[in-house]
């Protein structure tokens, strides 16, 4: 067991010994950790065995272990439901035996039972596990760690006039432009995205459309099928608006132009400013 063991994360821990109320595990820097009896019923575990657990704190701040997989782990962002409030803050359901505290100081506004809040799981200076809605403290506005076309994990934050602000790989902020949205996002929704371009200011412009041949090939087939269904011609072309293109194919104008460009090179379609049509049979 290494000294990097931390609360709010999944670890494979070694069983030290059984006791009357469960199993004592080697928690490394956290010391001995109890895996309660209710968690190990039917499990054939003994000294020296390893078991994958999530570490959390009980009501007295003592580290505990659970076989459950939480909805979010330490250092990750997720939207969690408020199950209760108290004089110390709000408590969030993160899928563990003990709810996660969102202290008043870590909130961004009034919170009521039943609300959903976008938070980062972290610890305070004393090492106590908690949630924070002050995401700007944990996420950078810029990043130079990505290349155009990189696949990234996104958590939707909120809409803006420009599109949708998202959390990228639990590390930094990014933006999906309106024309890149295939469908409306909801706060907390997890989606796979792609780095569309690297801006001069270091901020990330993202897309939900995969880059390269796979994207174009799939969209090309959709376009051909739509042309067949429409009798060979569609009122969409190079000069069509992004909104009209998105309404028909749920893709960006750039993706549409790449796809029809490929079909044109293959001599499968003819492109006009405001329409495309199937190439007449030879």
> Which pairs count as long-range contacts for 223-228, CB under 8 Å and 24+ apart, including other chains?
223/249, 223/256, 223/259, 223/260, 223/263, 223/269, 223/276, 224/263, 224/268, 224/269, 224/278, 227/269, 227/276, 227/277, 227/278, 228/278
Full-prediction pTM beyond 0.75? no
Residue 191: what pLDDT? 92
Name 140's bridge partners.
Answer: 172
For 72, other C-beta atoms within 10 Å of its C-beta total 22
Please give the residue range of the domain that contains residue 18.
10-66
| Pairing, β 204-207 against β 172-177 | parallel
Q: How many domains are contained in the chain?
A: 4
> What distance, in Å, lies between the first and last C-alpha atoms of the chain?
72
For residue 36 the two structure tokens come to 């309660």
Q: Supply the DSSP symbol for 251.
A: S
Cβ atoms of residues 90 and 107 within 8 Å: yes
**pLDDT per residue of the chain (282 residues) written in tens, 0 to 9:** 444 789 999 999 999 999 999 999 999 989 999 999 999 887 888 999 999 999 998 877 789 999 999 999 999 999 999 999 999 999 999 999 999 999 999 999 999 999 999 999 999 888 889 999 999 999 999 998 998 889 999 999 999 998 999 999 999 999 999 878 867 899 999 999 999 888 888 899 998 877 754 455 678 888 999 999 999 999 998 888 888 887 888 777 877 888 898 899 999 999 988 899 999 876
Q: Is 130 found in the same domain as 82?
A: yes
Cβ atoms of residues 15 and 23 within 8 Å: yes
- Tell me the C-alpha distance between 249 and 257, whole Å: 12
Q: Is residue 5 in a domain?
A: no
Q: Is 58 found in the same domain as 20?
A: yes
Residue 213: what pLDDT? 46
For the residues of 66-114, what is the DSSP string, one character each? Answer: ESPPPSS-TT-EEEEEEEEEETTEEEEE-SSSSPEEEEGGG-SS---TT
Residue 189: what pLDDT? 95
- Domain end, chosen from 42, 66, 90, is at 66
Tokens 């990097």 belong to: 4
What CATH number is given to the structural domain containing 82?
2.40.50.140
- Tell me the C-alpha distance between 106 and 86, whole Å: 14
Q: Is residue 146 in a domain?
A: no
Q: Is residue 95 in a domain?
A: yes
């Amino acid at each position: 067991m290494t000294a990097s063991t931390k609360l709010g994360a999944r670890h494979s821990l070694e069983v030290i010994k059984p006791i009357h109320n469960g199993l004592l595990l080697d928690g490394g820097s956290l010391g001995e950790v109890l895996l309660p009896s209710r968690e190990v019923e039917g499990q054939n575990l003994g000294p020296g065995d390893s078991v994958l657990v999530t570490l959390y704190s009980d009501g007295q701040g003592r580290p505990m272990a659970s076989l459950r997989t939480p909805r979010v782990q330490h250092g990750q962002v997720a939207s969690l439901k408020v199950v209760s409030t108290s004089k110390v803050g709000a408590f969030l359901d993160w899928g563990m035996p003990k709810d996660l505290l969102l202290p008043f100081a870590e909130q961004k506004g009034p919170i009521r039972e039943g609300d959903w809040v976008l938070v980062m799981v972290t610890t305070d200076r004393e090492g106590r596990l908690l949630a924070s809605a002050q995401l700007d403290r944990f996420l950078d506005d810029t990043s130079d760690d990505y290349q155009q076309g990189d696949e990234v994990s996104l958590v939707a934050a909120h809409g803006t006039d420009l599109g949708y602000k998202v959390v990228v790989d639990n590390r930094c902020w990014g933006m999906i432009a309106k024309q890149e949205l295939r469908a409306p996002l909801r706060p907390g929704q997890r989606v796979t995205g792609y780095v569309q371009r690297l801006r001069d200011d270091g901020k990330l412009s993202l897309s939900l459309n995969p880059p390269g041949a796979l994207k174009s090939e799939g969209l090309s087939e959709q376009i051909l099928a739509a042309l067949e269904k429409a009798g060979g011609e569609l009122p969409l072309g190079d000069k069509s608006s992004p909104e009209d293109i998105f309404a028909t194919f749920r893709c960006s104008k750039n993706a549409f132009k790449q796809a029809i460009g490929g079909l044109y090179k293959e001599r499968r379609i003819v492109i006009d400013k405001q329409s495309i049509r199937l190439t007449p049979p030879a």
